[in-house]
Amino acid sequence: MRITLIKGEQRLQTGIIQQSLSGFYDILVDGQIVRTRARGNFRKRGIKPVVGDRVEFEDGYLLKVLPRDNQLVRPMVANIDTAVVVTAVKEPNFAANLLDRQLVALESQGIKPILFFSKTDLLTDAEADQLAPTIAGYEQIGYDVVYDRQDPFKATNLERLLTLLAGQTVTMMGQTGAGKSTLLNHLAPELELATGEISQALQRGKHTTRKISLLQVGEALIADTPGFSSYEDFKMTVQELPQYFPEMLALAPNCKFRGCLHLQEPGCAVKPAVESGIIMASRYENYQQFHTLIQNQKPRY
């Protein structure tokens, strides 16, 4: 798709915010970009347009943000169908807790996650063997997992990923230095996105992506987004949290009590599944931690 910059037109149009920069909003319409500014009353009304928003505009001015299907806070994007969670297994080291935080956020917004494990070629054989049950565990839950021990960017993996993303509005997400821009460069080399090395002192990557933009990659629109070193987005209640662990949701009908939180309740079907290895212990431990975090959060008014 060829994208050119054109001036706003005189008639009411609809499009998708492709990029937000310094008070301007670039709107994607039929393969072209229309640069607009938001009306002054947006700020007064507390409306903050974000990348992915479907909007109405006219004569170079953004007039209305249409209702959102969903919205993420990190990254700040809206109306996303699928998220590729780029997860490094080394440099920075694999963090199951961070991965599960992202998965809960996506599940709560009805966004399909795809797990892409990067830097797998840096693993020793012993480290790869240790990680293998975790990879299998996420596949067993039902998540699409893209993983290759020797080459994370193997051609067949990239082809599979492009097929999974076709026709979707997608966001890349993952911690700084995980390799989001590197993955995008392999999917679409013509983008020539900047990539950065890991700071050995801080075990954090350099922020090479500083703004969010929707990019045409194959048959998908993909948001390249800044990374993060931590992730907290627990806006759900403790009663809602179990719904965002698919493996627990599947077993919940077998619990003795409706609304079981899978903690101390008698007749819980989840705890025996953890003990028998049907549910990953790391997932259950993270669930317990998230439950406590939500319970201890101060009310938001």
Q: How high is the pLDDT of residue 114?
A: 98
Least confident range of 7-11, 77-81, 266-270, 286-290: 7-11
55 in any annotated domain? yes
204: confidence class by pLDDT, cuts 50, 70, 90: very low
Q: How high is the pLDDT of residue 108?
A: 94
Collapsed DSSP state (helix, strand, coil) of residue 165? helix
Q: Indicate whether 30 and 154 sit together in one domain.
A: no
Q: Indicate whether 35 and 77 sit together in one domain.
A: no
Tell me the residue range of the domain where 59 lies: 5-65
The distance of Cα 163 from the centroid of its chain, to the nearest Å, equals 18
Q: Indicate whether 112 and 134 sit together in one domain.
A: yes
Q: How high is the pLDDT of residue 142?
A: 97
Least confident range of 61-75, 113-127, 182-196: 182-196
* Binding site as annotated, residues: 118-121, 174-182, 255, 260, 262, 268
DSSP 23-58: TEEEEEETTEEEEEEE-THHHHTT----BT-EEEEE
The distance of Cα 120 from the centroid of its chain, to the nearest Å, equals 20
The two three-digit tokens of residue 210, written as one number: 């500083």
171 in any annotated domain? yes
**Domain stops at, among 14, 41, 65:** 65
The distance of Cα 66 from the centroid of its chain, to the nearest Å, equals 22
Q: Indicate whether 125 and 202 sit together in one domain.
A: yes
**Domain stops at, among 65, 83, 102:** 65
pLDDT tens for residues 206-230?
434 457 889 999 999 998 877 655 5
Q: Indicate whether 77 and 21 sit together in one domain.
A: no
- Name which residue leads in pLDDT, 17 or 59: 17
CATH of the domain at 158: 3.40.50.300
Residue 300 has pLDDT above 80, yes or no: no
Q: Indicate whether 120 and 260 sit together in one domain.
A: no
193: confidence class by pLDDT, cuts 50, 70, 90: low
pLDDT tens for residues 44-64?
888 899 999 999 999 899 999
Mean pLDDT (whole number) for 94-112: 95
234 in any annotated domain? no
**Domain stops at, among 43, 65, 87:** 65
CATH of the domain at 35: 2.40.50.140
Number of structural domains found in the chain: 3
* Binding site as annotated, residues for GTP: 118-121, 174-182
236 in any annotated domain? no
219 in any annotated domain? yes
* Binding site as annotated, residues for Zn(2+): 255, 260, 262, 268
E strands present in 30-134: 32-38, 54-58, 61-65, 71-72, 77-78, 82-88, 112-118
Residue 137 has pLDDT above 70, yes or no: yes
Q: Indicate whether 217 and 257 sit together in one domain.
A: no
Q: Indicate whether 211 and 252 sit together in one domain.
A: no
Phi, psi of 33 (to 5 degrees): -110, 125
Q: Indicate whether 27 and 162 sit together in one domain.
A: no
Q: Indicate whether 59 and 41 sit together in one domain.
A: yes
The two three-digit tokens of residue 219, written as one number: 């048959």
230 in any annotated domain? no
CATH of the domain at 263: 1.10.40.50
Q: Indicate whether 80 and 97 sit together in one domain.
A: yes
- Name which residue leads in pLDDT, 10 or 100: 100
Residue 244 has pLDDT above 80, yes or no: yes
28: confidence class by pLDDT, cuts 50, 70, 90: very high
22 in any annotated domain? yes
User: Above pLDDT 90, what percent of the chain?
Assistant: 68
Q: How high is the pLDDT of residue 10?
A: 57
Q: What is the number of other CB atoms lying within 10 angstroms of the CB of residue 132?
A: 12
Q: How high is the pLDDT of residue 225?
A: 79
278: confidence class by pLDDT, cuts 50, 70, 90: very high
Least confident range of 73-77, 149-153, 252-256, 279-283: 73-77
Q: Indicate whether 31 and 83 sit together in one domain.
A: no
Residue 3 has pLDDT above 70, yes or no: no
Q: Are strands 54-58 and 13-21 parallel, antiparallel or unpaired?
A: antiparallel
Give the CA distances from residue 199 to residues 87, 124, 176, 204, in Å, rounded to whole numbers and listed in that order: 17, 21, 10, 5
Q: How high is the pLDDT of residue 15?
A: 96
Q: Look up residue 160 and give its DSSP letter.
A: H
79 in any annotated domain? yes
